Amino acid sequence: MTGLKPRFYAGGIHLLGSLALALPIVGFIYFFWYPGSLAAAQGVGTIIGILLLAHLILGPVLLTLVYKPHKKEILFDLAVILAIQTAAFLYGLKIIEGGRPLYVVLNVDRFDVVASQDIVMASLEKVPEGLEPSWFGPTWVAARLPSEATAREALMFSSLGGGADLPQLPEYYVSLESMSDSIQFRQRPIHEVKIANKISAAEWSRWLEKLGPSDTGFTYLPLRANARDGVVLVEAGTTKIKGIRIFENEFGVRR
């Protein structure tokens, strides 16, 4: 057992270093790339868990296996292990970045979560000033159909053929404030969610507990996301977004 102690000690030090590197990055992912309920909406939790587990196991285990005190090649071995570990971690980050909500787009009568990988890059170059994407959270916008008949026809054929739809084309984005009349017109009373999904009184109370003492001041619009749908809560009679709620137990909004 004495000969194993240096190996486990080296592996333990590597584990602590890997943890110190990974935790701030995972925190950034959850607080900025997938804030609030968007992590559940996009179903990224499993991917992040696999990434973190692989990162914390791969390097430390490899080092534990190859480490020997006074081994001449230990620096080379460590460099190879770090290269493998870093490559795997960056690959996982690339997948997570591709699925991050770049925009939350008002699309007629609902909000769509649009991932980074789903944006048409050529269209992103034409995004209106002030509506550019951010590395520190999704940008909330609305999408407006183009005024030209030929552009509307091309968009229709694109969406019907499995190509880009309106929410994936940033050149057609406008600010939420400019669509305030449409938002207020399409707001729906929040009690519809309870009725449509037959939510019990106790569950409904838990669901609303963070909204305030009454649900009369809130309306909603449906939210469509990659993994789980929900609602965007809107202050009644305004365009002020109060938050997102993702449904548990397969709750959803019937459209």
pLDDT of residue 100: 94
60-69: average pLDDT? 82
Question: Distance (Å, rounded) from C-alpha 5 to C-alpha 112?
Answer: 54
Question: Distance (Å, rounded) from C-alpha 54 to C-alpha 15?
Answer: 11
Tens digits of per-residue pLDDT, 27-64? Answer: 999 999 999 889 989 999 989 999 888 888 888 888 88
Confidence of residue 146 (pLDDT cuts 50, 70, 90): confident
Phi/psi for 230 (5° steps) reads -170, -150
Question: Distance (Å, rounded) from C-alpha 24 to C-alpha 36?
Answer: 17
pLDDT at 213 over 80: no
pLDDT of residue 254: 39
Per-residue HEC secondary structure of 124-192 comes to HCCCCCCCCCECCECEEEEECCCCCHHHHHHHHHHHHCCCCCHHHCHHHEECCHHHHHHHHHHCEECHH
pLDDT at 204 over 80: no
219-228: average pLDDT? 87
Question: Distance (Å, rounded) from C-alpha 221 to C-alpha 244?
Answer: 10
Top mean-pLDDT range of 81-85, 115-119, 221-225, 239-243 = 115-119
Confidence of residue 215 (pLDDT cuts 50, 70, 90): low
pLDDT of residue 1: 44
pLDDT of residue 252: 44
With residue 91 as reference, give the H or E element that holds it.
Answer: helix 74-99
Percentage of the chain beyond pLDDT 90 is 31
More confident residue, 67 or 117: 117
Instruction: Look at the block and give the residue holding tokens 């769509």.
Output: 112
Q: Give the C-alpha distances (Å, rounded to integers) separating 114 from 117, 131, 173.
A: 8, 14, 12
Q: Average the pLDDT over each of 43-57, 91-105, 193-207 and give the range with the smallest value.
A: 193-207
